[in-house]
Amino acid sequence: MTGQATQSQPQKLIVILAAAALAAGLAYVMVEASGRLAALWLVGAGLGFALYHAAFGFTGAYRTCIATGRSGAVRAQMLMLGLAVLLFFPALAAGTVFGQPVRGFVFPAGWEVALGAFLFGIGMQLGGGCASGTLYTTGGGDTRTGITLVCFVAGMTLGAWDIDRWAALPALPPISLPQTLGLWPALALNLGAFALIAWALAARERRRTGQVEPLFRRPGAHFLSGPWPLAWAAFALAGLNFATLVIAGRPWGITQAFATWGARAAESLGLADPVFWPYWEDPTRIDLLHRPLVMDATHLMNLGLILGAFLAAAWAGRFAPDWRIGWRPLLAAVLGGLLLGYGARMAFGCNISAFFSGVASGSVHGWVWIAAAVPGNILGMKLRPVFHLSK
């Protein structure tokens, strides 16, 4: 998760192509859908731009921290979460922002979430990315994570088909810390936890490496062509997630669209009739199968994110897909993607909707998610050499 200090010249033709694709998409959404969804298209593009320029991923962050002790990326996540709860908790307590009703992601916390997050953690290290990571690196031209993304969609679809297998596992009811403890105690508890984790990681890093990676500076930092300091991305992601809450009425999520993509593909290919799957019989989801994709905010944000990362890579002069993938890394991408998708379905989402947006919403299930995902990452790291991936 380290950026490159050297500056490359923008790839002007590709910059024009990426900007044109974003502009065309924006115009199409405004005409066919609404200004609100067009705004979410732009928010998605901003997320992709920020993620790429800071190389802000969860997979490499955990691997680097566990293997070497360098903790800048994970401490940046704590900064991001701290900023997010400061924005989210008061807004969710009020129930509206600028007249727009808002709700958080608060889901049951139980064995299904823990097992799903553990599988997701393994998939992160084998597939080379998380949910946001596979989107932005695919947009940036990484062909292996493009394969991971396709298999992620397949795994999410398989998980939706197989939803009944895990439904009876014990779980706590949905618990919102602000509602249970009160707004200010919940804020203090979360901010204290983030600060303690960041302090402990920084102390560990200093013992192991003799220094602490900075969050607010990076050699050669440049807003348009990167690389960004990690703190820039923390501020951008927290702010853009809050913008999603205000515009969409709920936080940033990614993987729900993957289930929709996979179900529609299976139906169009004659492989299945998803409308009869218990997952899609849920009245909160069934509409997603039938309405035009241009009306689906998560779908639009995902596409916008990919194009935003595409633009960032071209502006940085680093869009250069490489199709030389060995069969073992290719197999890891397939297996990792399937684990990511299946695990995300079980865990009520991924590192974004379950962890980032879950914790920002004050939900206990977000903390359960990360507690189970870290051991999964450790096991995934141990498996990486089997597939000729760096440890």
- Taking only the tens place, the pLDDT of each residue in 44-97 is 999 999 999 998 888 999 999 999 999 999 999 999 999 999 999 999 999 999
- Taking only the tens place, the pLDDT of each residue in 140-151 is 999 999 999 999
Cβ distance 45 to 22 under 8 Å? Answer: yes
In this predicted structure, the answer to whether residue 2 has a pLDDT above a threshold of 60 is no
Residue 91 covered by a domain:
yes
- The answer to whether the pTM exceeds 0.75 is yes
Which residue matches tokens 């997010």? 84
Q: What's the whole-number average pLDDT of the chain?
A: 94
Nearest to 224 by CA among 139, 132, 314, 134: 314
Q: What are the counts of helices (DSSP H) followed by strands (DSSP E) for the chain? A: 17, 4
What is the token pair recorded at 181? Answer: 């403890």
Task: Please report, as a single letter, which amino acid is at residue 303.
Answer: L
Work out how many domains the chain is built from and give that number.
1
What is the token pair recorded at 95? Answer: 């129930």
Query: How high is the pLDDT of residue 3?
Result: 38
Which residue matches tokens 């401490």? 75
- Taking only the tens place, the pLDDT of each residue in 153-176 is 999 999 999 999 998 899 999 999
* Cα 239 from chain centre: 15
**CB contact set of 187 (below 8 Å; sequence gap of 6+):** 85, 86, 89, 178
Residue 7 covered by a domain:
no
- Taking only the tens place, the pLDDT of each residue in 191-217 is 999 999 999 999 999 999 999 999 998
Q: Report the distance separating Cα 86 and Cα 223, nearest Å.
A: 25
Bridge-partner residues for 363, per DSSP? 176
Q: Report the distance separating Cα 175 and Cα 61, nearest Å.
A: 28
In this predicted structure, the answer to whether residue 117 has a pLDDT above a threshold of 90 is yes
What is the token pair recorded at 142? Answer: 């990484």
Evaluate the CA torsion angle 290, 294, 299, 303 in order and state its sign.
positive
pLDDT band (50, 70, 90) for residue 255: very high
Query: How high is the pLDDT of residue 7?
Result: 61
**CB contact set of 68 (below 8 Å; sequence gap of 6+):** 208, 209
Q: Report the distance separating Cα 379 and Cα 124, nearest Å.
A: 10
In this structure, the number of other CB atoms found within 10 A of the CB of residue 242 comes to 21
- Taking only the tens place, the pLDDT of each residue in 310-326 is 999 999 999 989 888 99
> If you average pLDDT over residues 267-291, what whole number do you get?
87
In this predicted structure, the answer to whether residue 43 has a pLDDT above a threshold of 70 is yes
Evaluate the CA torsion angle 259, 262, 265, 271 in order and state its sign.
negative
Q: Are strands 96-97 and 100-101 parallel, antiparallel or unpaired?
A: antiparallel
pLDDT band (50, 70, 90) for residue 282: confident
| 352 DSSP assignment | I
Distances (CA, A) of 126 to 107, 181, 339: 27, 39, 9
Q: Are strands 171-172 and 96-97 parallel, antiparallel or unpaired?
A: unpaired
- Taking only the tens place, the pLDDT of each residue in 218-231 is 888 888 888 999 99
| 325 DSSP assignment | -
Residue 6 covered by a domain:
no
Residue 221 covered by a domain:
yes
Name the percent of the chain lying above pLDDT 90: 85
Query: How high is the pLDDT of residue 64?
Result: 93
Task: Please report, as a single letter, which amino acid is at residue 188.
Answer: A
Q: Report the distance separating Cα 42 and Cα 301, nearest Å.
A: 8
> If you average pLDDT over residues 288-300, what whole number do you get?
93
Strands (E), 54-106: 96-97, 100-101
Cβ distance 390 to 331 under 8 Å? Answer: no
Q: Report the distance separating Cα 41 and Cα 187, nearest Å.
A: 30
Residue 1 covered by a domain:
no
Residue 89 covered by a domain:
yes
| 277 DSSP assignment | S
Task: Please report, as a single letter, which amino acid is at residue 44.
Answer: G
Q: Return the C-alpha torsion angle 341, 127, 371, 85, nearest 10.
A: -80
Determine the structural domain holding residue 299 and report its residue range: 12-387
What is the token pair recorded at 130? Answer: 């998380």
Query: How high is the pLDDT of residue 5?
Result: 42
Q: Report the distance separating Cα 95 and Cα 367, nearest Å.
A: 23
